[in-house]
Amino acid sequence: MTSEYFNRACIYGAGAIGGWIGARLAAAGCRVSAVARGATLDALQRHGLRLREGGVESAWPVHASADPLDLGVQDLVVVAVKATGLLDVARRIKPLVGPGTVVLSAMNGVPWWFFQGFGGRFAGTVLNAVDATAEIGHAIPGTSVIGCVVHASCTTEPGYAQHHFGNKLIVGEPCGQPSERVMRLAALLQAAGFESSVSEQIQKDVWYKLWGNMTVNPISALTGATTDRILDDDLVRAFVSSVMLEAREIGAHIGIPIAQQPEDRHAVTRKLGAFKTSMLQDLEAGKPLEIDALVTVVKELGALTGVATPFTDALLGLSRLQARMRGLY
């Protein structure tokens, strides 16, 4: 499987999720490389790609470079950067991508390819919040992309990923049509130990995940609270629910209805226990916050569909101001 279809796999963004996926692919027999910089590049070159999972540590050789030209055309490129770093990826990814390369988009929030082959009357729309100049879509067209929704929690130090919980990767073609390449990719991911499935419409899975994390992520960054503390506060939970109801109405207008109530999703989040969101981890590390791909884009979609978003606007204004005051937006 790996040698025939996805022998060469490059991780662009070897942090928490990218490092976890890369180590698993290496264990499955892929020749893994990575584009990295700074301390992460140094660690990868010295020690390989390291992973701690289930109390066991492993290390896998990886060809790491700051320059994609050093790595050459790949069969699979896993883009696992924060949304704030995607424009830089788009400007540098070309040497990795050939006619048959699959670009697996494993990122939080609404992606640049969201309306490629999907969305009815909104199909083909470029969302300013995630691709204001359309440069990303031009450099990484939807035809190269397989979308991926990650349901897992990992943390990272340079060149070292630690997996905590969750093992699900949902993959799918942006156009929603089944394809041989997506089935092969899902089989590879299953062979690598992931709980992998193929979605009939990956945008629905993107939106459902966003429905849960577009609120707790920025609120955790505003307050420093873990998810359990956020949901334990009646007033905060009511505010979260109000934002979610706006997003649910938007989803219904673009062909992604959600039958659940916010409290149903809160119950799912509660089962995960007390944990720091990725946005809170980024804030504490002084990294730029992914506000646009999680919240600004929902405001934009509200305007596009004619859905009023006063609660989303309040969340956006507060979280954006917090990030600006810290130099993280």
Report which residue type is found at 302.
G
Sorting pLDDT into bands at 50, 70 and 90, what band is 273?
A: confident
Token pair belonging to 2: 């790996």
φ, ψ of residue 144 to 5 degrees: the values are: -90, -15
Cβ neighbours of residue 83 under 8 Å, at least 6 residues apart? 107, 108, 109, 130, 290, 292, 293
Question: Among 232, 227, 195, 194, which residue's Cα sits nearest to residue 213?
Answer: 227
pLDDT in tens, 33-80: 999 999 999 999 999 999 999 999 999 999 999 999 999 999 999 999
Whether the pLDDT of residue 105 is over 50: the answer is yes
Gap between the Cα atoms of 165 and 154, Å rounded: 7
Beta carbons of 199 and 171 less than 8 angstroms apart: yes
If we measure between CA atoms, which residue out of 253, 211, 32, 8 comes closest to residue 121? 253
pLDDT by residue (tens digit) across 115-163? 998 999 999 999 999 999 999 999 999 899 999 999 999 999 999 999 9
Three-state SS sequence of 102-171:
EEEEECCCCCCCCCCCCCHHHCCCCCHHHHCCCHHHHHCCHHHEEEEEEEEEEEEECCEEEEEEEEEEEE
Burial class (CB in 10 A: 0-12, 13-18, 19+), 8: buried
Give the pLDDT confidence score for residue 3 in this predicted structure: 46
The full set of domain ranges for the chain reads 8-200, 205-325
CA atoms of 318 and 287, how far apart (whole Å): 18
Q: Are 160 and 18 in contact (CB under 8 A)?
A: no
The model's pLDDT over 170-205, given as tens digits with 9 standing for 90+, comes to 999 999 988 999 999 999 999 999 999 999 999 999
Specify the pLDDT at position 2: 47
Task: Look up the CATH number of domain 205-325.
Answer: 1.10.1040.10
CA gap 144, 151 in Å, rounded: 23
C-alpha 29: how far from chain center: 24
Domain 8-200 fold is Rossmann fold (3.40.50)
Cβ atoms within 10 Å of 207's Cβ, excluding its own: 25
Domains 8-200 and 205-325 share a fold: no
Supply φ then ψ for residue 172, to 5 degrees.
-175, 155
Give the β-pairing of 56-60 and 97-106: unpaired
**Cβ atoms within 10 A of the Cβ of 96, count?**
23
Q: Which residue numbers are catalytic? A: 209
User: pTM for the whole thing?
Assistant: 0.94
